[in-house]
A and B are shown apart, each in its own frame.
Chain A
Amino acid sequence: MRFSIYRYNPETDAEPRMQRFELESVSRGMMLLDALLRFKEQDESLVFRHACGEGHCGADGVNVNGVNVLACTTRLSILREPVQVTPLPGLPVIRDLVVDMEAFFSQYRAVRPYLIADDPEPEVERRQSPEQRAGLDGSFECILCACCTTQCPSWQNNPERYLGPAALLQAWRFLNDSRDTATEERLNDLAGPYALFRCRTVMNCVNVCPKDLNPTEAIGRIRRLMLKSSL
């Protein structure tokens, strides 16, 4: 199986290049991450992030043939040759497939992804009914892999001002939390033409999310909430 992998070391290389790799035997169920690990045996200088190896940590997001995926959950058998592996688009490259996620995480921090509750602290804990808890399904599972945000053309157009699907999904996760009391402040954070309203429902985020989450729907819900609270 033929691969072509993005190589770039900003300290020594004038410009990025694509390096060819060859995989002789592909066993059933082999994932892209397994291939990358083989290549690292061949060429030690190849750098990429990986940790859990089973789609829980979100460290190994890469772009394969144009689509953002997690290397560890992508079967080699579904890929078209030559497999072009490049870093997540739109983020600064640190080395080879490793990108600087700071821009992405600062947008995550911007939505204040933690519970804000001003009401007096209860004796035991802040309770939720099973239904209220069920409302958080589909938003708390995000592993912050950045596959969605970096695949979004709207985010690519305004990477600094549009928050992107991942951050907005988390914004919704806390707006929708029955225990959270900062709804108004949160909505005010999202005000303005850029932060939320650059979404044009292209739905790349929904198509690439390895956890099958739906940031587009969350964005729509935030808009409806905003509409309700501003009327």
Chain B
Amino acid sequence: MMGSGITPWLLQRLSSVYLGLYGSCIAICWMGRPAPDHAAWTAWVGQPWVSLGMGLFVLALLLHLWVGLRSLLMDWVTRTAVRAALNGLLLIGLTGVGLWALRTLWRAGL
């Protein structure tokens, strides 16, 4: 299967573009501004472009994390059984993080 090599690689590159752009946008957006209070903060996060963007951000992040950590395991863990177990843990962990993020964003008004 050609896909098992090129697909993760492509996902990694595509997600990195979004992560870099959105991450830098948010950073620049808050640079030099004073810290908000709770109401302003929730209102800001509740804006559709922010919360939708963050939803996508989380999705891209999960993909990026999966590809990166998977290749790290391929390089550093030589025992197949151990690597498979760690890959399983990784998937469970990522799913957990994803659900958690979804709940948070949902509450914030996604």
Contact = CB atoms under 8 A, between A and B. Distances in A.
A122 interface: no
A223 B9 contact: yes
A226 B6 contact: yes
Nearest to A190: B5
B74 A192 contact: no
Contacts of B40: none
Interface stretch (A124-132, A164-172, A194-202): A194-202
B46 interface: no
Interface string B1-36: 111111011100000000000000000000000000
A227 B74 contact: no
Nearest to A156: B75
B41 interface: no
Contacts of B5: 190-197, 226
B76 A192 contact: no
Contacts of A197: 5-6, 8-9, 71
A188 B1 CA distance: 7
In this complex, which of B3, B5, B10, B74 has the most chain A Cβ atoms within 10 angstroms of its Cβ?
Answer: B5
B75 A227 contact: no
Nearest to B9: A197
A208 interface: no
Given A223-B9, A226-B6, A192 B75 contact: no
Interface residues of B, number: 14
Interface residues of A, number: 19
Contacts of A230: 2-3, 6
In this complex, which of A154, A187, A230 has the most chain B Cβ atoms within 10 angstroms of its Cβ?
Answer: A230
A45 interface: no
Contacts of B10: 227
Interface string A180-224: 000000011011111111101000000000000000000000010
B75 A158 contact: yes
B4 A192 contact: yes
B74 A223 contact: no
A198 B6 contact: no
Contact of B2 (A154, A158, A188): A188
In this complex, which of B6, B10, B74, B76 has the most chain A Cβ atoms within 10 angstroms of its Cβ?
Answer: B6
A196 B71 CA distance: 12
Interface in A130-184: 154, 157-158
A198 B75 contact: yes
Given A193-B8, A197-B9, 11 more contacts: A157-B74, A157-B75, A191-B1, A191-B3, A191-B5, A192-B1, A195-B5, A198-B74, A223-B9, A227-B6, A227-B10
Give 9 closest A-B pairs by Cβ, nearest first.
Answer: A191-B2, A157-B75, A197-B5, A193-B5, A192-B5, A226-B6, A230-B2, A192-B4, A191-B5
Interface of B: 1-6, 8-10, 70-71, 74-76
Interface of A: 154, 157-158, 187-188, 190-198, 200, 223, 226-227, 230
19 contacts: A154-B75, A158-B74, A158-B75, A188-B2, A190-B5, A191-B2, A191-B3, A191-B5, A191-B6, A192-B4, A192-B5, A193-B4, A193-B8, A194-B5, A194-B74, A197-B8, A197-B71, A198-B74, A200-B71
